[in-house]
Copies of this chain bind each other. A is one copy, B any other.
Amino acid sequence: MAFREISPGALLSPVPAVMVSCAAEGVRPNIITIAWAGTVCSQPPMLSISVRKERFSHRILTDSGEFVVNLVGRDQMKAMDYCGVRSGRDEDKFATCGLTTQPVEQMRYAPAIAECPVYLACKTEQVLELGSHDLFLARIVGVGVKEELMDASGNIDVQKAGLVAYCHGIYHGLGEALGFFGFSVAAPKVYARRMKALKQK
């Protein structure tokens, strides 16, 4: 099947759909929904978010130098969408969405969202002006995971979180587990054992 060339656009998919919570001196906590986010480094752990200059949160982010990325499960999906289309200039989104601020030790101002399954507390190291969006490159300085996502050995089972992905305007739940990193070169016994464990989840 042939390719059709279309005009260049931001078509990388799927991407994360996360809620970023932030606050600053004298500014109430706000939430902005971000799909233009990615992991950028493993050691030190870093991620990036991209934010338009005209967004209300942009100033909060630059003033405070910190933010919290909250992963989004199905139960928070409606709030997540809402926080992407409404502005914190006009309302207190925590209140409107019935969400709860959760203080995070490593953050001076920004709370996490208590209802979300995982938070990543971030300190901004660099802001790059790219065009429509500014890129915030940030170090992950604190991570919190809901107890219910951890097993007795302290392993995290993110599958239980029912995370949401964003794909060209549409939100999707994650479907079945199809494989694990390295499955293509795993010994048959290892492959069978690990896939069985994945399917049982």
Contact = CB atoms under 8 A, between A and B. Distances in A.
B167 A43 contact: no
A172 B171 contact: no
Nearest to A71: B13
Q: Range of interface residues on chain A?
A: 35 or more
A6 B145 contact: yes
Interface in A137-169: 137, 139-148, 150, 154, 156, 158-159, 163-169
Nearest to A201: B170
A182 to B, nearest CB: 5
A176 interface: yes
A13 B163 contact: yes
Chain A contact residues, majority secondary structure:
strand
A115 to B, nearest CB: 10
A174 interface: yes
B175 A142 contact: no
A12 B168 contact: no
A39 B16 contact: no
Interface of A: 1-16, 18, 35-48, 50, 69, 71, 74, 77-79, 81-82, 84-86, 102, 105, 112, 118-120, 126, 128, 130-133, 135, 137, 139-148, 150, 154, 156, 158-159, 163-185, 198
18 contacts: A3-B146, A4-B145, A5-B105, A10-B45, A12-B39, A12-B47, A14-B16, A36-B41, A43-B131, A44-B131, A46-B130, A81-B184, A85-B182, A135-B137, A158-B167, A169-B181, A173-B176, A175-B176
Given A13-B118, A163-B167, A164-B178, 11 more contacts: A4-B145, A8-B44, A9-B45, A11-B145, A14-B14, A38-B39, A38-B40, A158-B168, A170-B179, A171-B178, A172-B177
